Structure 1
């Protein structure tokens, strides 16, 4: 066998003939208990058969200066958008609600008031 053979660990490359017959025998449905196959498997049996479940890969968002998880990023953006919408709604209400302005009093007729005041003081002096 050469140094760069197909089997880097050494040993024979042939597949044993009896293992192939074992596989054929295991695929034969006569070896299975049909009653066991008809009932549903519980969670423990399914976990034994399926093995460990695939872990969900956490997603991250790279903001340039910091890397945050996607969930935190979406919550932060949502909070800022909600606060902006709330502030815009409040300012819209404040701008559109009519205000009660106090009107300035009508202009006084100072010439008439001055004339009456002078008549009063002249009357007081004459007495």
Structure 2
């Protein structure tokens, strides 16, 4: 029984046919494309990435949403600080009243 398939065929014949078909494929197609195709058949579908989450205690959000939210909050805070500093240190144009002249003093004393 050695050298024979349990179903009655010889292993050498099956191996020879497989080699011939593989050689024909290699001649017809690019070797890199053939290797990639064979790998995809062997490995099956690719693994999907696990989504990473951040636990905030009362809320669980994805890492991407957490980063965007944190970035928006920091940007809004930075914008507020910049506007506050500009308003604080910008020169102001006060309309100071002119010092009272002699006519105004005289008018006040007359009344």
SS of structure 2 residue aligned to 1:95: helix
CA RMSD between the two structures: 3.5
1:50 deviates by 3.3
Q: Match for residue 88 of structure 2?
A: 95
Q: Which runs of 5+ in 2 are unaligned?
A: 6-10
Greater Rg by CA: 1
Q: Which structure shows the higher helix fraction?
A: 2
Q: Match for residue 35 of structure 1?
A: 27
1:76 deviates by 0.6
Residues paired across the two proteins, number: 93
Query: 2-side partners of 1:114 and 1:85: how far apart?
Result: 53
Higher relative contact order (CA 8 A, sep 6+): 2
1:89 deviates by 1.2
Q: Which runs of 5+ in 1 are unaligned?
A: 1-16, 119-127
Q: Deviations over 1:81-124 (max 9, x none)?
A: 111111111111111211101112313543x3367x59xxxxxx
Q: Match for residue 44 of structure 2?
A: 51
Residues 1-127 of structure 1: pairs in structure 2 closer than 5 A: 31=19, 32-33=22-23, 34-35=26-27, 38-41=30-33, 45=37, 47-109=40-102, 110=105, 112-113=106-107, 117=110
TM (norm. structure 1) is 0.56
